[in-house]
Structure 1
Amino acid sequence: MRVRPSRLAVAAVALLTAATALPAAAAERGGREDRPSHGGLSAVIRYTEYGIPHIVARDWAGLGFGTGWAQAADQVCVLADGFVTVRGERSRYFGADAAPDASLSSASGNLASDLYFRGVRQAGTVEGLLARPAPAGPSRASRELMRGYAAGYNAWLRENRITDPACAGAAWVRPVTTLDVAARGHAIAVLGGQGRAVDGITAARPPAPATAAVPDVRAVPGPRDAARAARALSAAPDPGMGSNAVAFSGATTAGGRGLLLGNPHYPWQGGRRFWQSQQTIPGRLDVAGGSLLGSPTVTIGHNARVAWSHTVATGVPLNLHQLALDPADPTVYLVDGRPERMIRRTVTVPVKDGAPVTRTQWWTRYGPVVTAFGTLPLPWTATTAYALHDPNAANLRTSDTALGLGTARDTDGLLDALRRTQGLPWVNTIAADSAGHTLFTQSQVLPRITDDLARRCSTALGEVTYPSSGLAVLDGSRGECALGRDPGAVQAGILGPARMPTLKDAPYAENSNNSAWLANPDRPLTGYERVFGDLGTPRSMRTRGAIEDVSAMAGRGGLTVRDLQRQQFANRVPAGDLAAADAAEACAGLPGGTATSSAGDAVDVREACDVLAAWDRTADTGSRGALLFDRFWRKLTAAVPADRLWRVPFSPADPVRTPHTLNTAAPGFATALADAVGELRAAGVELGAPLGRHQFVVRDGRRVPVHGGTESLGVWNKIEPVWKPAQGGYTEVTTGSSYIQAVGWDGSRCPVARTLLAYAQSSNPNSPHHADQTRLYSGERWVTSRFCEEDILSSPALRIVRIREH
């Protein structure tokens, strides 16, 4: 492979023109042009400000080639670490007991991670999916993208020296295959299902023969504990993940065209980071946005006519089947009285500085036997076991969904792509287009659990978990409880496209990770199955605040992209608006100005009363009082149950404004206040210090102030910081605002787009793009998107790289 970087020059312009001016008719022809291996893979990458690549290729494999090369240049260590995970080799390189790559599963240790992923590899699961014809399997375009991505990643490894200290010289940084790329996509697809139960799958063991005749004394939790555990198993693959997105219709905007603001809350470190690019195949695809690392397609983004974002959905992407076992053999289960033997998967994992470890996993017609799911124990006894059904284990269609979104010309086309490809495992989609249309749809891959099926087939455990959380536990011993197939579904056992909650052309459509019910409170969505989410229940503080904000914006009308930018960084704290004044008043009324801490100490809180009263109710870096309220609010909501926190309870008739009025008489109020004051003073933090002085990240040896706030505060600009008082407060961010985009149209052929990648393009501390956008984020500044050719070519930072494989 030859890589020739250059500044903009006559030769480069000629090269660029040749690469990007392919006639549409030629681009559509088959033959040698569609089989790039005949002449080697190639791409042109134009870098603009902040290291954002604009990748141009003649075909799908070439586009994958350029994408794999450019992602490796920015994120080789993170990518390599993920490939080690999906190969099941973490124990080999890092030890069996070390912490795994949390971005690709919930495994508690490397050994469990390896046992699961090596089992998937050994079973040929992903190879089988790659071989399936579309639409059940990936299209030829998607397979070519994956093949090209692997080649581009490998080409970068061959031609470049790694400067990132996280993996420089490491033996585990190795070339990859198309299968590795596909396996990484598969791991993302099952994050909400099998990926969340890795420990329970790999630890499952049949009861010892000596106990087979002993009556079962172990049991799942009682109804209250089971409901609590099931509710804790939210649909999110990671409890810290979430998102906001809002689409405004032309009826609310200045030019009669749509607007979209997307604000996903994803990890700031590891393999679920976004990476920003533009991908172009002349005549076929022209899309810009953020990709999850390891993905050859744009995940969230826009093209010339439509923009979309995703939010983590409330749909439960799995279900359980309770098995009736043969009393003589706990590895045999009965279906309609007929025995079926479980499938043994014996997996051996090599271990660094130790002997290989061999374990057996047990699989059924429904999926793997699992003995725990989160905090919900599922004991395998002499008569009962539980199998986990994850329909996304047969889903390798996410790339085709992304391509369908990227080539859509309007929201109708985008919805058609979702219904045709059915590849999104655990997210909603919110979109707007240049004609002024909006869309919200919860089009995700979910098990075909209808309320009627749950009523007929739930076990005693399912009768508790399904109403409370949407997690169905079905009777696996009855054939009539099979999931069946919906019309239009591309695979058996999933809900068909006609059932997906969808809202079209509302003045606005918004989601902040609650169910589809209040995407627009004036046009509530109802009638969907419980597995999608709930109805008529309290909304999160972030959902309530978001609806208040966007409904007010829609009511004002005349909206532009600039209004979206203001909303993103308004940093209003809805919990503060609801509770700070009441807290300050109650604080001022405490006898002697003191409160008793949880340790029994009398704490002088008079200064805190004044700070809370004067606080501006925002989480800006300069806000004084935000940190005090944050620490107080975390302690109060942890100590006081939600139904006792407010004087005015929740009302389904007024779901956005209720509950309200802080119950300052609740036991725990004064204690939470005393503990927060004592905690800050012990850390040497002034109660009224500006938030940014004690909420920051360290990049290039310098503090970068961070605005925004945690989930319970309800801030649109959500961040989840790490509290380390000995180091000055919140010193890092785990998840939060990530790839942010504000997109609209002004009548010209180019979209008006402002973007921001909060943690920047590269994890390499030696990269110039390690923290540049983090500093922009801190200063509430944006990147002006360069989408059209004239904008790309006029970039003062333009650097052109041509890559070719020989």
Structure 2
Amino acid sequence: MRTRPRRLLLAAVALLTTAASVPAAAAGQPGDRGEHPSPGGLSAVIRYTEYGIPHIVARSYAGLGFGTGWAQAADQVCTLADGFVTVRGERSRYFGAEGTTDLSLSSATGNLSSDLYFRGVREAGTVERLLAQPAPAGPSRQSKELMRGFAAGYNAWLAQHRITDPACRGAAWVRPVTEADVAARSYALAVLGGQGRAVDGITAARPPAAGAPAGRAPDPAGSARAARALLAADTADMGSNAVAFSGATSANGRGLLLGNPHYPWQGGRRFWQSQQTIPGELNVAGGSLLGSATVSIGHNDRVAWSHTVATGVTLNLHQLTLDPADPTVYLVDGRPERMTRRTVTVAVQDGPPVTRTQWWTRYGPVVTSLGASLPLPWTTGTAYAVNDPNAVDLRGADTSLGFSKARSTADLLASLRRTQGLPWVNTVAADADGHTLYTQSQVLPRITDDLAQRCLTPLGRATYPSSGLAVLEGSRGDCALGSDPDAVQPGIFGPARMPTLKDAPYAENSNDSAWLTNADRPLTGYERIFGTVGTARTLRTRGALEDVSAMAARGGLTVRDLQAQQFADRVPAGDLVAADAARACAALPGGTATGGDGNAVDVREACGVLAAWDRTARTTSRGALLFDRLWRRLPVAQLWKVPFSASDPVRTPHTLDTGAPAFTTALADAVSELRAAGIALDAPLGAHQFVVRNGQRIPVHGGTESLGVWNKVEPVWNPAGGGYTEVTTGSSYIQAVGWDGSRCPVARTLLTYSQSSNPLSPHFSDQTRLFSEGKWVTSRFCEKDILSSPRLRVVRVSERR
């Protein structure tokens, strides 16, 4: 990639851009530009502005994919290549069967199980069949052209550059990719909450040996607890906040959108920021999940959207009744059906190949566990198959394309209804005309409460009410999922059944169910598999609803108010209990509390620290770290004096029982822990919550899930290393978007972990430092803003050099 004289390069840009900004009317019109690449091969123009953000311009969808694949490779080649190794089923070949280098594209606990699953998908031709399906059941020609172009761009970058990132420099596993590889990565993300959650259980499934004892059925109560924990873990790994404000609350009558997804800071589920433009066709800016050729979360000149991980359960189980003479034969309405064998062989580094057989049924693969704590034993009489409707869903790129070209929240909703391509997220959006939208438009198994009542097994009657995980009778044909007339595929809910809220003064989600999207306009009437109604909300949801409802009531909102909300770092748990905790601490006889080891601990200093704490998780906050370590030890679900009430769901439960022994024990242990680590009780949070980039500490603000902080971060506690020394997941691609009447949106963005994972890149930690300081990037969306960037660097990229 070579830079050229500015004047010549701007002339090259002029060949691809038609005006100072893409005409709003034209940007939403469909075209056939995806089928006619230029005679010289695919090409694109990339304009880089501050913080290494690329603005990619191309004449065609294939060209746009080419520029996107090129630019992603330039920033993230090692992470991308690692993901392609995963979806090819080649991790064991390069990293060993026992390794776990990066398994962010499934729940596999090791390379071997990951390879057995993804190699099986590859050998079965699953992705190729989905690519061949005509739209809307399969991806459109435009989406396929984007994928084809992405592969070509990635490959061209590899061919024309020497890798400098030490993570994969000179590695044999960095290889060219195909359109099918790019599609397989999208497939892995689609099934992440379904088959991807069950990879270990799918690849470990073995029929019982002849003469084996009948075996014991899973314990319903234990399985219910395990299912709740399994599904609740989603928001610990990937959560989000998003709020849309209507024109009735803003200063100028236009909408506002704040998106704050909480995604992994390392590995294949990182976001990457760009602007994509085909003149006269689309013009969109935002964050893309790595390996994706479309913008996942973003805005154009008329509408902005974000996603939050939803509570809908994207899989269900079918309990199979087996033929007593053959455990690989199951009965449906008394008639036998033989399971299908899928035998897979995986190459292993420094060892012989490993061959395993997977067993598939009309419902999906046989599975012997979900996660580590929910066993599903395959006995002589019973087995379990997992149904994942997203295993036939490659429509996500078309949903994103529809969003990119939308002119309103109504257009977003129309795209969702037309494509039904989102597997595990809600959508929150606002537009320039002042409209808001929340919708839980997921691809979910069509399990109505009526079907559940008729067809749940005893195990399902324990798991479904508490977690939404349905276990259905697989032996009965009348327990098939059926179809909705407006659904794109059989066995899923149609758009008419999706919880949706339009034009509320605010629409907010923080990973709880749709019920309290707006506390004054609760959503009800949806099936249990979508989520709960009338149940306790998390502290993050409660804190968010307190904040955004107050903002909406105050009115006169601007993008600055969104920015202030993002980095206020208020700790709702602290507001609820810190004052009481400080008073209870001060009242302890002799200023001592007994720790879990039975030793008395002097806690008098802690009392004053808790009392003086400002109830925030800013880097300068003194007492935030002490409260954090205390709070993590408290079994708060058992300590509230005032229980949850569905009539007051935002403010209950409340009032911690500080007189309970668990409180004083937790206080003593927290104090002892910090002192043993050499950390002052009143140390500023940023001195002990940080990331290290190129040998330098960067303080990190925000707090863990249970504290309820909007700006969520999940760091790793390492007292020997100084406290919280790395962030595994948390605030990622953040955007605050509004409109001021001009053709250019008012947008502020931030990619917390920065654009590149290469430690030698100038964009390895530049935005991370902005995040540390609570600063933002001003979006350069319109041509005049891009061309006026003091950091402008323009390159033309192509297949042939």
Structure 1 length-normalised TM: 0.97
Note closer, same or farther for the CA distance 1:32–1:690 as it changes in structure 2 (3 Å cut).
closer
Whether 1:501 and 2:504 are equivalent positions in the alignment is no
1:667-686 matched pairs, under 5 angstroms: 667-686=661-680
Note closer, same or farther for the CA distance 1:338–1:626 as it changes in structure 2 (3 Å cut).
same
Deviation, structure 1 residue 229: 1.0
Unpaired runs of at least 5, structure 1:
none
2:540 is matched with: 542
1:119-518 matched pairs, under 5 angstroms: 119-211=120-212, 214=213, 216-221=214-219, 223-234=220-231, 237=234, 239-374=236-371, 375-518=373-516
Is the Cα contact below 8 Å between 2:89 and 2:115 reproduced in 1?
A: yes
- Distance in 2 separating the partners of 1:237 and 1:184: 20
Deviation, structure 1 residue 318: 0.5
1:112-123 matched pairs, under 5 angstroms: 112-123=113-124
Deviation, structure 1 residue 600: 1.2
1:728 is matched with: 722
2:781 to 778, 783, 787: 787
Amino acid at match of 2:125: G
1:648 is matched with: 642
Deviation, structure 1 residue 34: 3.0
1:590 is matched with: 588
Deviation, structure 1 residue 4: 3.6
1:711-748 per-position Cα deviation (integer Å, ceiling 9, x unaligned): 00000000000100001000000000000000000111
Deviation, structure 1 residue 43: 0.3
* 1:748 match: secondary structure: coil
- Distance in 1 separating the partners of 2:4 and 2:289: 28
1:757 is matched with: 751
Whether 1:742 and 2:736 are equivalent positions in the alignment is yes
Amino acid at match of 2:579: A
* 1:350 match: secondary structure: strand
Note closer, same or farther for the CA distance 1:29–1:736 as it changes in structure 2 (3 Å cut).
closer
- Distance in 2 separating the partners of 1:616 and 1:175: 53
Deviation, structure 1 residue 227: 1.5
Is the Cα contact below 8 Å between 1:503 and 1:509 reproduced in 2?
A: yes
Amino acid at match of 2:694: D
Deviation, structure 1 residue 239: 3.5
Is the Cα contact below 8 Å between 1:100 and 1:108 reproduced in 2?
A: no
- Distance in 2 separating the partners of 1:646 and 1:722: 28
Is the Cα contact below 8 Å between 1:235 and 1:313 reproduced in 2?
A: no
- Distance in 2 separating the partners of 1:767 and 1:6: 21
* 2:737 match: secondary structure: strand
- Distance in 1 separating the partners of 2:33 and 2:727: 48
1:35-184 matched pairs, under 5 angstroms: 35-36=36-37, 38-184=39-185
- Distance in 2 separating the partners of 1:325 and 1:804: 57
- Distance in 2 separating the partners of 1:309 and 1:27: 19
Deviation, structure 1 residue 27: 12
- Distance in 1 separating the partners of 2:597 and 2:623: 24
Is the Cα contact below 8 Å between 1:235 and 1:316 reproduced in 2?
A: no
* 2:248 match: secondary structure: helix
2:689 to 690, 695, 698: 695
- Distance in 1 separating the partners of 2:507 and 2:792: 37
Structure 2 length-normalised TM: 0.98
Deviation, structure 1 residue 173: 0.3
* 1:195 match: secondary structure: helix
- Distance in 1 separating the partners of 2:744 and 2:715: 37
Deviation, structure 1 residue 29: 9.9
Moved over 4 A (4+): 22-33, 235-238
1:176-197 per-position Cα deviation (integer Å, ceiling 9, x unaligned): 0000000000000000011111
Unpaired runs of at least 5, structure 2:
none
- Distance in 2 separating the partners of 1:452 and 1:288: 43
1:459-485 per-position Cα deviation (integer Å, ceiling 9, x unaligned): 001111111111110000000111111
Is the Cα contact below 8 Å between 1:235 and 1:317 reproduced in 2?
A: no
1:631 is matched with: 629
Amino acid at match of 1:141: Q
* 1:251 match: secondary structure: coil
- Distance in 2 separating the partners of 1:308 and 1:217: 50
- Distance in 1 separating the partners of 2:671 and 2:385: 48
Deviation, structure 1 residue 666: 2.3
Is the Cα contact below 8 Å between 1:192 and 1:235 reproduced in 2?
A: no
* 2:41 match: secondary structure: coil
- Distance in 1 separating the partners of 2:42 and 2:660: 67
Amino acid at match of 1:533: G
Is the Cα contact below 8 Å between 1:371 and 1:386 reproduced in 2?
A: yes
Amino acid at match of 1:664: T
1:5 to 3, 6, 9: 3
Is the Cα contact below 8 Å between 1:205 and 1:380 reproduced in 2?
A: yes
- Distance in 1 separating the partners of 2:39 and 2:513: 49
1:9-57 per-position Cα deviation (integer Å, ceiling 9, x unaligned): 2211211111112899999897887321644101000000000000000
Deviation, structure 1 residue 665: 2.1
Worse-matched range after superposition: 16-25 or 259-268: 16-25
Is the Cα contact below 8 Å between 1:47 and 1:799 reproduced in 2?
A: yes
* 1:686 match: secondary structure: coil
- Distance in 2 separating the partners of 1:531 and 1:77: 38
Deviation, structure 1 residue 100: 4.5
Is the Cα contact below 8 Å between 1:192 and 1:236 reproduced in 2?
A: no
Note closer, same or farther for the CA distance 1:210–1:238 as it changes in structure 2 (3 Å cut).
farther
- Distance in 1 separating the partners of 2:456 and 2:35: 51
Amino acid at match of 2:518: N
Deviation, structure 1 residue 217: 3.5
2:571 is matched with: 573
Deviation, structure 1 residue 669: 0.7
CA RMSD, aligned part only?
1.5
Is the Cα contact below 8 Å between 2:28 and 2:406 reproduced in 1?
A: no
1:521-560 per-position Cα deviation (integer Å, ceiling 9, x unaligned): 1000000000000011110000000000000000100000
- Distance in 1 separating the partners of 2:30 and 2:486: 30
* 2:77 match: secondary structure: helix
* 2:458 match: secondary structure: coil
1:662-704 per-position Cα deviation (integer Å, ceiling 9, x unaligned): 1112231111000000000000000000000000001121100
* 1:320 match: secondary structure: strand
1:185-237 per-position Cα deviation (integer Å, ceiling 9, x unaligned): 000000001111100000000001121xx3x232202x321221111122765
- Distance in 2 separating the partners of 1:444 and 1:217: 37
* 2:322 match: secondary structure: strand
Note closer, same or farther for the CA distance 1:398–1:440 as it changes in structure 2 (3 Å cut).
same
- Distance in 1 separating the partners of 2:546 and 2:28: 47
Deviation, structure 1 residue 118: 0.2
